[in-house]
Every structure is written in structure tokens, then in C-alpha cells.
Structure 1
Amino acid sequence: MEPDFWHQKWAKREIGFHQPQGNPLLTAHFQRTGLEAPARVFVPLCGKTRDIAWLRSKGLQVVAAELSETAVKELFAELELCPGVDSHGPLKRYHADNLVVWVGDIFSLQPEMLASVDLVYDRAALVALPPALRQRYSQHLLALTQSAPQLVINFEYDQSLRAGPPFSVTKADLRAYYAASHHIEDLAHQSLKLGKEQVDAHECLWLLKPHP
């Protein structure tokens, strides 16, 4: 997807992908990661997800990336945080109280800017990208995070029944992107109706652990 696609979504408030209460799969199964405060969690393509509030409530440090500055401003406002803002080349960095959000194209984010990561929480990044971009994204993510463990939420459905995003990402897709670097464990899945088309789908949660 071109950046303008997402900027227009936020400008038009076409943000049905945003979950006001956060994701129940995260809260129900996060303990399976074994992480404890003050571990550092990276949330790519974060939007203004309420999951960030939940992670911070557990004493975790959160670093995130998001294309839309509108989403990031709303995120900090809803968290009642007044961020510092500084520029780093093509990116901006919003930061306050155990939360850092890089604003701009995630492909401009470099490992030295992100620093150490204990877990990637990919709740909306992989499924937001068309197949042509996913391989590039997954390889960039591995380089950014030094192949850190991942908690990944995806959707599986008949892609012919609706246009993404969110796109259908299968277990075979996950294996194609990450099996060389990670063991992929199925933690949970739930049935749901997706989009205005009400397509039958499964929302799945996966834990990816780096190979020794």
C-alpha cells in the first residue's frame, strides 16, 4: 500500500481496524512470552492501539512505529501523555514515560535507532501489507530487532471474498517469512466476521521463538 492510502484512512476516519478496547488475545496469552517488567516491546505499525496502554500497565517499555502522525498524536492524547518530539532525518520521535513512537516509513527506521528489543508484538503490521511488501517487511523486521521473539496476530480467510487490508496471512505465509529464523507456535485462534462483507475468518495468535 502507498503511504497516501493510510494517510487518507486516518483523515477520513476510516479506522475500523482500530480496536478501542485493545486485543483480548494479547491479554489472555501474553504470559506465554515469559516477559516481565521492564522488558522492551516493539509494536510496528501501531496506529493508536489500546494494546500499548495495556503493555505499559504491566511495567513494560514500549517502542513503536507508525506512518500516520495523526494516529500518534491521538495515541498520546488518549494516554494523557505530553510527548517530547524530535526529528531524526525522515522520521520523528515522540517520547514520554516508557513510550517511544517513531513516526514515518518503517523502512527508514534503523537498528541503532530502535536499540534493544525483547519482543515484537505484531498485531496489525503483517496483515496490513500486501504480499509484495511482506517479504521485505519481514526481513527488515528481523534486521531491526536482531531476530527477537515475536507475538503475531493474523487473519485467515478466503481472500477472494474481500479486498484487504487486513489481508489474509496463513500459517504457510508465516513459515515462508520466519521459519528459517524462528520456531512458530500456535497459541490461540478465534472465529469472527471480518469487515463490512462479514466474511468468515479466523484471528490467530502465534509465538515465534528464535532458533538457538
Structure 2
Amino acid sequence: MDPDFWQEKWQKRQIAFHQAAANPLLVSWFNQLALAPGASVFLPLCGKSLDIHWLLAQGYHVVGAELSEIAVQELFAELGLTPDISGAGNLQLYRAEQLQVFVGDIFQLSENTLGPVAAIYDRAALVALPDAMRQRYAQHLITISQGAPQLVICFEYDQAQLAGPPFSVDSLEMHKLYSSVYSLNCLEKREVPGGLKRKCQATEIGWLLTPIESEQN
């Protein structure tokens, strides 16, 4: 992940990846995580996603991590929140009411700094990373969240037709990344209307990742 690449995207407002509504797979399947009311949900590389608005409206506590401070500032402004800003190790922490977002390199975020989270919602993080980084990212996420269950949304398409990001992450790779810790359940597949970036046919897929230990208990 080249930090300058994403910083430039936000500075130049090249943010077509920012959706205009909460993701339909989130709305349809988030209840499969079976979280308690008010539970903390971690969103890696969260941007200013409207998924955050949706989760807050459902009464959850949202913890995000985002590289771009511009995105985080706009998120709080759009929510009408004035954040308290403080240092958190090598990161900055924006906090207000039921929302806190760590600003900086997610690989600098530790388990102690993150604190306990009940689940992870990953819509835009795994697919934003090139192949060489996804293994490191998946393991880092497992470590800092203590293996929390996950709802992961990814894409499958012919990578030869589109360079990415977002990158194609197929079923084989999902199992390679996560099956040592989680039981994987493909919840739903949806064709991307008009194709990905209007360039190639693609399928958006929702995955439920349940910790193997919790299934055995």
C-alpha cells in the first residue's frame, strides 16, 4: 500500500470508491454477526463511508482506521460531530460520542491501542491492497482484534481486464488468508451494476468469518 497513492486520491477528490449509500450487503447481512446492542465494530481503511452512518444509526460503537486525515475530517463534519483529537502512539485519534477513528498507517495500530472490538466490518480494506500485502494485512487484523468475527465484502473479476484497486479476491484466496482461524461462509453474490468502474463484469461477495474456536464451544 503506497500511502502517497491514497493521500493523492483524497486530495484530488478522486474518490469514486466512496459510495452514495450504505452497502446493501452490510444492510442485509450484518445481523449474522449476532452482536450485542452497542457493541464495538472495527472498520479498517474506513474513509468517510456511509456504512459508518448506518452502523451508528443502529446503535453500534464504531472504531475506524484511516490513512487520510482529509477523509476523517470530512466524516466527522458530515456527521455533525466535533472530534477530540489526541495522540495514540504513532497515530492520531479522532473521537466523538460513539465514533473513534485512528488516523495513519493501520500497520502501526496495535492490539492495546485498538482495544477490544466485537467484530470487524471490512468493505474497502482487503480489496484495496495488492496481493503482496494481503497476507500481512489479514494476519495483522487477526492479531489486533484477537480474532474477532468478520463481515468481509470483496470483488471477483478478471484481473487482466482491470489493474485495481479494488483488486479481485476470490474464494481460494479468502480461504488461504483466513481458514486457519475462521470458518468461512459465503453469504451472497451480487453482480456489480454496469461492471466495476464501468470497465469489466464483476461480482460483489459478502463473507461471514466465524472464529473456529467459538464454533467449537
Q: TM-score, normalised by structure 1?
A: 0.98
Q: Which consecutive residues of structure 1, in runs of 5 or more, have no partner in the other structure?
A: none
Q: CA deviation at 1:93?
A: 0.1
Q: Give the whole-Å Cα distance in 1 for the aligned partners of 2:206 and 2:87.
A: 34
Q: What do residues 150-193 of structure 1 show as CA deviations (whole Å, max 9, x unaligned)? A: 00000000000011100000011110110000000011110011
Which secondary structure state, in structure 2, belongs to the residue aligned with residue 194 of structure 1? coil
Q: What do residues 116-137 of structure 1 show as CA deviations (whole Å, max 9, x unaligned)? A: 1111000000000000000000
Q: Does 1:195 align with 2:208?
A: no
Answer whether contact 2:42 2:121 (CA < 8 A) is retained. yes
Q: Give the whole-Å Cα distance in 1 for the aligned partners of 2:88 and 2:210.
A: 31
Q: 1:32/1:89 Cα in 2 relative to 1: closer, same or farther (>3 Å)?
A: closer
Q: CA deviation at 1:30?
A: 1.3
User: 4+ residue runs of structure 1 moved beyond 3 angstroms?
Assistant: none
- Higher mean alpha-carbon deviation, 37-46 vs 24-33, is at 24-33
Counterpart residue identity of residue 141, structure 1: L
Q: CA deviation at 1:36?
A: 3.0
Instruction: Report what 2:212 is aligned to.
Output: 211
Q: TM-score, normalised by structure 2?
A: 0.96
Counterpart residue identity of residue 126, structure 1: L
Superposed, 1:6-155 pairs within 5 Å as 6-155=6-155
Aligned-pair identity in percent equals: 52
Counterpart residue identity of residue 194, structure 1: L
Q: CA deviation at 1:37?
A: 1.2
Q: Which consecutive residues of structure 2, in runs of 5 or more, have no partner in the other structure?
A: none
Q: Give the whole-Å Cα distance in 2 for the aligned partners of 1:163 and 1:187.
A: 26
Which secondary structure state, in structure 1, belongs to the residue aligned with residue 6 of structure 2? helix
Q: What do residues 80-133 of structure 1 show as CA deviations (whole Å, max 9, x unaligned)? A: 100000112321000001101000000000000111111100000000000000
Q: Give the whole-Å Cα distance in 1 for the aligned partners of 2:66 and 2:97.
A: 18
**CA RMSD in angstroms, aligned pairs only:** 0.8
Q: Does 1:157 align with 2:148?
A: no
Q: Give the whole-Å Cα distance in 2 for the aligned partners of 1:125 and 1:118.
A: 18
Q: CA deviation at 1:28?
A: 1.3
Q: Give the whole-Å Cα distance in 1 for the aligned partners of 2:190 and 2:157.
A: 12
Q: Give the whole-Å Cα distance in 1 for the aligned partners of 2:117 and 2:189.
A: 26
